Amino acid sequence: MQEANGQKFLILGASSFIGRRLYREMGIESAVGTYCQNPIETARYYDSEKMDVADIIEDDEEYSHAIILLGNTQPDSCFANPVQSHALNVQSIIRLIDSLHSMNIVPVFLSSQFVFDGEKGKYVEEDEVNPILLYGSQKVVVEQYLEDNIDDFLILRLGNVYGDDSSDGTLFTSWMDSLSEGVRYIKCASDQRFSATHVADVVQAILATIENGCTGTFHVAGPVGFSRSDLLMILLAKLNERVLLDVEVEFCSIQDFGLPEVRPRDVTLCPNRLTKETGITLTTPEGFCERIVYEYVSNGKMVGD
């Protein structure tokens, strides 16, 4: 990515799952990344709860945008530690936004599908937010602060982000890791729908919205909504084209897993505004499932029964 008028870009949280991919794509010539708990050799240490972002910016540096990837993104962890997660996800981010604003740096805040209650699905940007998860409520507070106090900002609401690198801990690779370890029984929710979104699409959307001078709120989500069980069956179908496994799948409700908060039923997002204003086309997961299966099989991590 080219610098804008000699300015660079800040990636705050370059050690996160999305941050690593974005930092690699932008490169050190165009971006300065930060880390907190997971060091990156070329990045700068930054703790949003204890430091001012101005402390890591050198006098001769200019930045046009700062992509905010900091925070606790695990809903169950946020619920278990409400004071701690509020301090990180809300208070420190608002302080960060104020500092960026004082330096004329446009904040790019990555929000979540969980700002919605899941009652209708296919949400557009203008739909009223109504989170039922604490994590979603924290995102809404920051979104509202941006809308009320900052002139130029970007909010990118993400669907369920997944990757295709072996053992990256995301949706499909987690299933593949279990299967490669001999698991042949999977209990899977069939009543929760969301927009599965590949990390490469998230990176593309960040770059495209910045390059096109976009402001406001955009949904970054795969164009088709799926239930969790739909996605599992897509993966198993691709897997069985290469190896035969005798896998038993028990379909159930997402509420049957004893999670600490009731999960929203349908948080699928409509990405039409993003496509219209940037021209990018987001992908569906079938091709990535095929790639994931190929990697596991070709590397000998998956053999038939």
The per-residue pLDDT for range 173-208, each reduced to its tens digit, is: 999 999 999 999 999 999 999 999 999 999 999 999
Q: What is the number of domains present in the chain?
A: 1
Confidence bin at 167 (pLDDT 50/70/90): confident
Residue numbers of the domain that contains 52: 8-164+196-222+267-283
Q: Is residue 239 part of a domain?
A: no
Average pLDDT rounded to a whole number, residues 49-58:
95
Average pLDDT rounded to a whole number, residues 68-74:
96
CATH number of the domain enclosing 25: 3.40.50.720
Q: Is residue 154 part of a domain?
A: yes
Q: Is residue 248 part of a domain?
A: no
pTM of the entire structure? 0.95
Q: Is residue 61 part of a domain?
A: yes
pLDDT at 2 over 50: no
Average pLDDT rounded to a whole number, residues 149-163:
97
Average pLDDT rounded to a whole number, residues 138-156:
98
Q: Is residue 246 part of a domain?
A: no
Confidence bin at 290 (pLDDT 50/70/90): very high
Q: Provide the percentage of residues in the chain whose pLDDT is more than 90.
A: 92
Nearest by Cα to 201 from 59, 18, 50: 18
Nearest by Cα to 210 from 124, 274, 148: 274
Q: Is residue 214 part of a domain?
A: yes
pLDDT at 305 over 80: no
pLDDT at site 6: 57
Q: Is residue 128 part of a domain?
A: yes
78-91 pLDDT per residue, tens: 999 999 999 999 99
Q: Is residue 129 part of a domain?
A: yes
